[in-house]
A and B are shown apart, each in its own frame.
Chain A
Amino acid sequence: MTEIKKLIIPLTDYPHMPYWATLEEAIVLLNFSHESGFHTVLVFDEFYKLLGMLNWKEILRAINPKFKELSSEKIDIITSWDDNKFKMPIKDFMSPFDITVDAGDDILKVAYLLLQHDIDIIPVKESEKVLGVVRMHDIFHEITGLILQSKK
Chain B
Amino acid sequence: MRRLLNIFRRKVAAPQPASDEERPFKERYLYFKKLLSENNAVLEIMADLEDKRSGEYIFDMNYIRTSCSKLVDSVQNIIVNLDKLSKGKYPDLYFAFAKINSKIEATLTNKTEIPVTDFTIPFDSVTKDMVNSVGGKNANLGEIKNKIGLPVPDGFCISAYAFKRFIEFNELKNKIILSSVDIVDMEGLNKISREAQNLIMQSQIPPDIESSISNAFSELSRKISSRAGSPTASVRSSAIHEDAKFTFAGQYKTALNVKADNVIENYKRVISSLFSPRAIFYYKSKGFEEEDMVMAVGVVEMIDAKASGVMYSRDPTDAEKNDIIINAVWGLGKYAVDGTVAPNVYIVSRDEPRTILEKTTPGQEVMLKCNPKEDVVEVEVPEEIRTTSCLTDDQIKSLADYAIVLEKHYDTPQDIEWAIDEKNNFFILQTRPLRILKEKPVKNIQAITKGYKIIINNGNIACKGVGAGKVFFIKKEEDLEKFPEGAVLVAKHTSPKFVTVMNKTSAIVADVGSPTGHMASLAREYNVPTILNTKIAMKTLEADKEITVDAINGNIYEGRIEELIEAGKRENPFKDTAVFKFLRALLNNIVPLNLIYPEDEKFSPDYCETFHDITRFAHEVAMREMFQVADSPNIKKREAVKIEVKIPLEIYVIDLDGGIKSDSKKITPDQILSMPMNALLRGMMDIEWPGPPPINVKGFLSVVASTAMQPHSEKLLWEPSFAIISREYMNFNIRLGYHIQTIEAYVGDNINDNYIRFLFKGGGASIDRRARRTKLIKEILERVDFDVKRTGDVLDARVTKYDKPNILKKLGILARMTAYTKQLDMTLFNDAMVDWYLKEFINKYYIAE
Query: Residues on A close to B: CB < 8 A?
Result: 11-12, 15-18, 20-21, 25, 28-29, 32-33, 44-49, 127-129
Contact = CB atoms under 8 A, between A and B. Distances in A.
B691 A32 contact: no
Contact of B827 (A11, A17, A47): A17
Contacts of B827: 16-18, 21, 25, 29
Nearest to B705: A47
Interface in B122-172: none
A129 B716 CA distance: 15
B704 interface: yes
B398 interface: no
Contacts of A127: 706
A128 B826 CA distance: 18
13 contacts: A15-B829, A16-B829, A18-B823, A18-B827, A21-B690, A28-B833, A29-B827, A32-B829, A45-B692, A46-B692, A47-B716, A48-B708, A128-B707
A28 B828 CA distance: 11
B388 interface: no
Interface string B273-301: 00000000000000000000000000000
B592 interface: no
Contact of B709 (A15, A21, A48): A48
B762 interface: no
B829 A128 contact: no
Interface in B697-729: 700, 703-704, 706-709, 711, 716
B737 A46 contact: yes
Contacts of A16: 826-827, 829
A29 B716 contact: no
A12 B766 contact: yes
B62 interface: no
B708 A20 contact: no
Q: Which of B768, B829, B830 has the most CB of A within 10 A?
A: B829
Q: Which of A15, A29, A32, A47 has the most CB of B within 10 A?
A: A47
A129 B836 CA distance: 29
Contacts of A12: 766, 768-769
Interface of B: 690-692, 700, 703-704, 706-709, 711, 716, 737, 764, 766, 768-769, 823, 826-827, 829-830, 832-833, 836
A29 B826 contact: no
Given A11-B709, A18-B826, A46-B692, 9 more contacts: A16-B826, A16-B827, A21-B690, A29-B829, A46-B716, A46-B737, A48-B708, A48-B709, A129-B707
B496 to A, nearest CB: 41
B715 to A, nearest CB: 10
B833 A17 contact: no
A47 B691 CA distance: 11
Contacts of A25: 827
A49 B703 contact: yes
Contacts of A17: 826-827
Contacts of A18: 690-691, 823, 826-827
A83 B789 CA distance: 39
B706 A32 contact: no
Contacts of A33: 829-830
A129 B766 contact: no
Contacts of A128: 706-707
A32 B827 CA distance: 12
A41 to B, nearest CB: 9
Given A18-B823, A28-B836, A47-B703, A129 B711 contact: yes
A86 B691 CA distance: 16
A25 B716 CA distance: 23
The 6 closest A-B pairs by CB, nearest first: A12-B766, A32-B832, A48-B707, A49-B707, A15-B829, A47-B707
Q: Which of A17, A45, A48 has the most CB of B within 10 A?
A: A48
A86 B769 CA distance: 24
Given A18-B827, A32-B830, A46 B691 contact: yes
Nearest to B709: A48
Contacts of B692: 20, 45-46
Contacts of B832: 32
Nearest to A89: B690
A32 B766 contact: no
Nearest to B695: A46
Q: Which of A18, A25, A45, A49 has the most CB of B within 10 A?
A: A18
Contacts of B690: 18, 20-21
Contacts of A28: 833, 836
A131 B711 CA distance: 13
Contacts of A29: 827, 829, 833
A33 B836 CA distance: 13
A24 B836 CA distance: 11
A45 B711 CA distance: 15
Nearest to B764: A48
Nearest to B692: A46
B334 to A, nearest CB: 92
Contacts of B769: 12
A46 B826 CA distance: 9
